[in-house]
Amino acid sequence: MINKDKLFQTLDFIDHCVKSDNDSHSVHLLFSKLDKIIPIKSAILAIDIHEQFQLTSPSQLFTYNLNSEWQQLYFQRKFYQQDPVLNAASHSSRVIDWQSAFQLSPAKQSYSSDFQLLSQKYVGSHGLSVVVNNHSGSTLLSIATQVIPDQNGEQLLSYIAPHFHELFSRDGENTRRKMGMPQLSARELEVLKWAKEGKANGDIALILSISERTIKFHLSNIFTKLNVINRTQAIAKAMHFGIIQ
């Protein structure tokens, strides 16, 4: 059973999460507060725009005391394709104990001894991981613990993880939707902003002092980058990504 002090610390953490800005500094401060609730050796947050969580790039990560050499090895050698903890967490809504994930029957094990030895060297054998997902995407919270985690640790992490997830759904430096954001040129942005104002191609050409043919060229590029077929869809998708207001 969770004692009152831990419960109050958890409620205080959740309050800070709700009020926190969506930037890397704030995420680091939240990790520091988490360390006081569940003592951790290292931790990662990983975000994905898909509801079914996938980890494929270090650009998805926010880390706390994580050895940079391990992070480099993990992606260079594509360990995310065999990580039993990641696999278990990605296919479950519950908190996964690392030992349980590694102690599957041999027939189900798909990880190499090399991965097991290196992961123990860099992050240890004990930890907890959980994936939270909804229509906005998914978030992995994974912590390496100082001691063997107990049910209280699992319960506390299940309370905390959804608030980390919600943080990355807000506007800010690290909003989840920016992960899949198409990159438009400055001129393409100008064209799209005037299109949003309801201006016809000829009007936009006059405003920007370029030919109507060039406007059509920019719109064609915009449609390709946003994977749409007309300006209405382009405007809607650009607003979704926050490319235009």
DSSP assignment of 41-104 equals: EEEEEEEESSSS-----GGGEEEES--HHHHHHHHHTTGGGT-HHHHHHHT-SSPEEHHHHHTS
Per-residue pLDDT of 82-93, as tens digits, reads 999 999 999 999
For the chain, what is the mean pLDDT? 89
117 and 53 co-located in one domain: yes
135 and 197 co-located in one domain: no
Of the candidates 105, 175, 99, 87, the residue with the CA atom closest to the CA atom of residue 137: 175
Residue with tokens 């993990």: 74
162 and 200 co-located in one domain: no
38 and 158 co-located in one domain: yes
Pairing of strands 96-97, 40-48: unpaired
What angle do helix axes 4-19 and 24-37 make, rounded to 10 degrees? 170
116 and 231 co-located in one domain: no
Question: What are the CA-CA distances from residue 228 to residues 176, 194, 238 (Å)?
Answer: 21, 18, 10
Angle (CA) 96 58 78, round 5°: 70
Q: How is residue 245 written in tokens?
A: 């207001």
Does position 77 have pLDDT exceeding 80, yes or no?
A: yes
Rounded mean pLDDT of 194-223?
Answer: 94
Least confident of 19-28, 34-43, 128-137: 19-28
What is the structure's pLDDT at 4?
A: 85
Q: How confident is the model at residue 107 (pLDDT cuts 50, 70, 90)?
A: very low
Q: What is the DSSP letter of 19?
A: H
What is the structure's pLDDT at 180?
A: 60
Per-residue pLDDT of 32-72, as tens digits, reads 999 999 999 999 999 988 889 999 888 888 999 999 999 99
Q: How confident is the model at residue 132 (pLDDT cuts 50, 70, 90)?
A: very high
What is the structure's pLDDT at 87?
A: 92
Least confident of 143-152, 157-166, 193-202: 143-152
Q: What percent of the chain has pLDDT over 90?
A: 63
109 and 198 co-located in one domain: no
Picking from 123, 145, 178, the residue at the C-terminal end of a domain is 178
Picking from 178, 197, 228, the residue at the C-terminal end of a domain is 178
Q: What percent of the chain has pLDDT over 70?
A: 95
Q: How confident is the model at residue 148 (pLDDT cuts 50, 70, 90)?
A: confident
Signed CA dihedral, 56, 60, 65, 69: sign only: positive
**Widest CA span of the chain, in angstroms?**
71
Least confident of 134-143, 154-163, 170-179: 170-179
Rounded mean pLDDT of 101-128?
Answer: 84
Of the candidates 70, 189, 91, the residue with the CA atom closest to the CA atom of residue 140: 91
132 and 186 co-located in one domain: no
Per-residue pLDDT of 159-199, as tens digits, reads 999 999 999 888 777 777 666 667 788 999 999 999 999 99
155 and 190 co-located in one domain: no
Query: Which CATH number covers residue 223?
Result: 1.10.10.10
147 and 167 co-located in one domain: yes
Of the candidates 43, 36, 42, 41, the residue with the CA atom closest to the CA atom of residue 5: 36
Residue type at 166?
E
Distance CA 70, CA 72 (A): 5
Distance CA 178, CA 167 (A): 14
What is the structure's pLDDT at 109?
A: 62
Query: Which CATH number covers residue 98?
Result: 3.30.450.80
Q: What share of the chain is helix, strand, coil (3-state, %, to 5)?
A: 55, 15, 30
Picking from 161, 178, 195, the residue at the C-terminal end of a domain is 178
124 and 51 co-located in one domain: yes
Of the candidates 173, 174, 214, the residue with the CA atom closest to the CA atom of residue 190: 214
130 and 158 co-located in one domain: yes
Domain that holds residue 127: 4-178
41 and 140 co-located in one domain: yes
Q: What total of structural domains would you count in the chain? A: 2
Give Cβ neighbours of residue 17 (< 8 Å, ≥ 6 apart): 30, 160, 163, 164, 166, 167
Give Cβ neighbours of residue 45 (< 8 Å, ≥ 6 apart): 27, 61, 62, 63, 139, 140, 141, 142, 164, 168
Select the more confidently predicted residue: 14 or 237.
14
What is the structure's pLDDT at 108?
A: 55
